[in-house]
Amino acid sequence: MRKHFLAYLVVICCCPAVSGSFDLITSRGLGLGHSVVLSGSSASVLVNVPTGGLASGAWHFECGYDRRFGLSDLDNVFVSGAKRWRWLTVGVGASQFGKTDLYAEQLLKGSLAFHLDSLTFGGTLSAMQVQIGNGYGTLRAATVGAGASWRSRRFFAAATFDNLTSPSLAEYSPTVKPIYSAYAELIGLGSYSITSRATFEDLQKPSFAGGLIVQVSNRASIFGGVSTEPMEYGGGVEMYIRSGVITYATSVHPVLGLSHTVSFGLGSVSRGRTQKGAFD
């Protein structure tokens, strides 16, 4: 137990983004440098970025498993769903990071967005429970976020403002600082998109990311990306099976090694780069 706990502390100190986040794991996140495909957003993306694109009447369900740096103590399982009714999109997701006998975080997050032509406005509500092993107790915190986006046929931009209430897990524990992120997607003339992200947090260095996703056939897409703070390189592949999709994403940290995410999606989010009707 002590050996596992020390390994956990080393990873958290070197890569603090691993835990303590009010964001849900996304299926392509590792491979795209934690940038996102806004024009055809999956359920997990819509929970974090509520103003992403989803066609009117479309729905999406997603579940997956994430392992960071080959350590089972850092496993993360997640499930999410999203549905759009004309001008309204609703998303909800849940995840568990870690193990309850050592350290675990359970996250429940919901999102709501309103579509007004090319503009979308939305918000999020997040609740986290932290369980510390050996009877040390349970801590809880909640917070809210907001977002907005603008889209055209070839360009999609979004911004999110998370942790706006600066939540704290305990009376004397440090507060979780607000996080401000900007996302952009350039939709190519072919079956590809270029994605980017910039994230800013008080007392932290800015983090930047870029990615590329290409639909190589009617049955598959490939993607890759890079991110800073921490510096990671990623890639992945999606395989389409009828109305479902299996996604594998991976990234490598120069010091800590490989991470992996495997997920399964089901619903009316279309294949590859974007989806027909995402701008309706």
Q: Give residue 279's pLDDT band: very low, low, confident or very high (50, 70, 90).
A: very low
| pLDDT the model gives residue 180 | 97
The helix (H) or strand (E) run that includes residue 46 is helix 43-48
What's the pLDDT tens digit per position in 222-235? 999 999 988 999 99
Measured CA to CA, the distance from residue 274 to residue 129 in angstroms comes to 35
Strand bridging mode 192-201 / 179-187 = antiparallel
Return the DSSP state at 86. Answer: T
Q: Which domains are assigned to the chain?
A: 2-267 (2.40.160.60)
What's the pLDDT tens digit per position in 157-214? 999 999 999 998 887 788 899 999 999 999 987 789 999 999 999 989 999 999 999 9
Long-range contact list for 242-249, CB < 8 A, 24+ apart? 243/267, 243/268, 245/269, 245/271, 247/27, 247/28, 247/64, 249/27, 249/28, 249/29, 249/30, 249/31, 249/32, 249/223
What's the pLDDT tens digit per position in 107-129? 999 999 999 999 999 999 999 99
**How many CB atoms neighbour CB 3 within 10 A?**
7
Type of residue found at 263: S
Comparing C-alpha atoms, which of 132, 122, 158 is closest to residue 39? Answer: 158
Question: Which of helix, strand or coil describes residue 122?
Answer: strand
Angle of CA points 174, 49, 111, to nearest 5°: 85
Question: Which of helix, strand or coil describes residue 259?
Answer: strand
| pLDDT the model gives residue 18 | 47
Q: Give residue 69's pLDDT band: very low, low, confident or very high (50, 70, 90).
A: confident
- The answer to whether 147 and 179 are in contact (CB under 8 A) is no
pTM, 2 dp? 0.88
* pLDDT-above-90 percentage for the chain: 69
